[in-house]
Structure 1
Amino acid sequence: MSIRAVCFDLYGTLINIETNEDMEEIYRGISHYLTYHRVFMNRREVRERYFAVMKERKRQSTERYPEIDVEAIWHTILIQENSKPLNGREKLAKELARLHRGISRTRLERYEGVKRTLKSLQEQYQLALISDAQRCFALPEMRALNIKKYFDIRIISGDYGYRKPDSRLFQMAAEQLEVAPHQAIYVGNDMFRDIYGAQQAGMKTIFVDSNQGAKSYNDIQPDYFAHDFYQVLDGVAFLAQKHADN
């Protein structure tokens, strides 16, 4: 059977992003913003509470590779502060998650060749996204860089409470694509989370050597090594031909 789908990691593969959650400006800005919602916490309290709730939620998780839900973290903080109105907490939690992300972000850009490659692959294959991310800011960031339109199927770890290399995320994508895992290629930049995870699920793999991600993990080797994103098309063609020959 032929290759029918190509799945992608997001950050470090399609999007070149840098964030710094240690910046004081983040928590000062959130502290000031919260006063408009009658929640009064200084920046030190905001920072300490954010990381304390995150740590506790990870501790309570039964998953081998736990993933946080940033909206849930802020919602917990709002509950602890007895914020009003009660029916507005979920909306405010999403706003705070996006505000935190926006201030912490120092870079957001597509890697060279991404849009052209996706457009070309879309003509022949189904495409899907499998990302360790949070839906509340991943989708707007994809939209801002004009790549959201290429992915109708988006598996985002923050929705499930576990992250790559958990094979369930890759299997979920294959199910939604209605293909067997061995009929899909996964493209990622992290040898552990992406390549190892996808191979455990039965997918073929392309490793993109970007400026981010783990470059090695034990003796794991990808099915194709792309030195940059421009080589992804060559990798897909190579693996598709190899699969057809078998």
Structure 2
Amino acid sequence: MSAEFTSKELKKFKEIIRKRSVAKDPIETGFEPQLSPLKNIKAVFFDVYGTILISGTEPMQQDGKERQIKAMQESFQAFGISMEPDVAKKAVNVLHKIIRKTHHKKKEEGKDYPEVDIIRVWIEAVRELEEEEMIGGFDFDDIPALVTEFVTRYDEPWLMPGLQSTLDSLQESDRLLGIISNSQFYSPLTLEALTEKSLEEMGFHPDLLFWSFSEDIAKPSVHFYEIASKKLREDYEIEPEEVLFVGNDMLNDVYPAAEAGFKTALFAGDQRSLRLRENDERCQNIEPDISITHLSQIPECLD
């Protein structure tokens, strides 16, 4: 991640994230926690969006098209380019078109759930907009900063309550901490910007950070989780059943983690992000080992 950017660029991206993020609280789900003791857990892995980061998108607005259009206008304006709503709408549509095209191509190459390189996607999108003379004069060196502006304005991320104290408690009990996340280059930077700590200072092991943009694979691929499982077994002699995975999505988190042999915790602490996926057949015959409504409940379940 940091090898792709200079320290000056990383600092700039984090400043954008801090400036555009919006403080907020989780929205209660009315979900009753289902807690039970989990024995012999040696590592705890977390999803990021909707689990340790609050997403700004409200319930029933998950497509968020109007929010995306507004974020697109404001993001280009931050670089001195005015954009009418119809052009911003076109830009959003172009982005989604390129993402769909990239996914389709990678699936044809044999990847079940491929990830995109979001910087390349935006480069292609801006070029298309310039070729159609909808915008002009954008400095392509600013694409990563533009992406950071757009995503942070749209998602308005914030830290989930109890995050650091939970990580501290788990680390004090000598458990390894890791991440498995659908993500892009700005995802780890968002955590670092909002905590003002490095991921390692937060408690995450540097060898146990599995980002979809780095692995070129995305959830709900079971193989994504098996990559982490292989690392744990080979380097730390930790078996899958000794791992707890915490996530807010039954399909993207609980299903593949369980298939990989992990214990699972459904995070049901925020109405914005809770995804039960009751109509998906992959989720109909699985239950998380525990269901929590606050991150602090995790250490309570571990011996």
Question: How high is the TM-score relative to the length of structure 1?
Answer: 0.80
Matched, 1:22 2:66: yes
RMSD of aligned Cα (Å)? 2.7
Following the alignment from structure 1 to structure 2, what is the Cα–Cα distance between the partners of residues 189 and 143? Answer: 21
The answer to which of 25-34 and 63-72 deviates more is: 25-34
The alpha-carbon distance between structure 1 residues 114 and 32, as it changes in their structure 2 partners (threshold 3 A), is: closer
- What is the match of residue 150 of structure 1? 203
The runs of 5 or more residues in structure 1 that have no matched partner are 238-246
The alpha-carbon distance between structure 1 residues 21 and 64, as it changes in their structure 2 partners (threshold 3 A), is: same
Shift of 1:74: 0.7
The answer to which of 20-29 and 222-231 deviates more is: 20-29
Matched, 1:67 2:119: no
The alpha-carbon distance between structure 1 residues 27 and 109, as it changes in their structure 2 partners (threshold 3 A), is: closer
Following the alignment from structure 1 to structure 2, what is the Cα–Cα distance between the partners of residues 67 and 213? Answer: 22
CA contact (8 A) 1:4 1:126 kept: yes
The alpha-carbon distance between structure 1 residues 105 and 3, as it changes in their structure 2 partners (threshold 3 A), is: closer
Aligned residues: 228
Q: CA offsets per residue over residues 206-226 of structure 1, 9 Å max, x none?
A: 222122232242021111222
User: One-letter code of the match for 1:104?
Assistant: Y
CA contact (8 A) 2:76 2:146 kept: no
Q: CA offsets per residue over residues 186-245 of structure 1, 9 Å max, x none?
A: 1111112111111111111122212223224202111122232221112233xxxxxxxx
Q: CA offsets per residue over residues 76-107 of structure 1, 9 Å max, x none?
A: 2345447999xx84x4331221121122133x
User: One-letter code of the match for 2:243?
Assistant: A
| Identical amino acids, percent of aligned pairs | 23
**Structure 2 residue corresponding to 1:128, chosen from 172, 178, 199:** 178
Matched, 1:164 2:212: no
Give secondary structure in 1 for the equivalent of 2:219: coil
Matched, 1:109 2:167: no
Q: CA offsets per residue over residues 137-192 of structure 1, 9 Å max, x none?
A: 21121012326332223111123333222122222223334333222111111112
Matched, 1:197 2:256: yes
User: One-letter code of the match for 2:274?
Assistant: G
Following the alignment from structure 2 to structure 1, what is the Cα–Cα distance between the partners of residues 72 and 294? Answer: 36
Shift of 1:33: 5.3
The runs of 5 or more residues in structure 2 that have no matched partner are 1-38, 58-63
User: One-letter code of the match for 1:110?
Assistant: L
Following the alignment from structure 2 to structure 1, what is the Cα–Cα distance between the partners of residues 266 and 89? Answer: 40
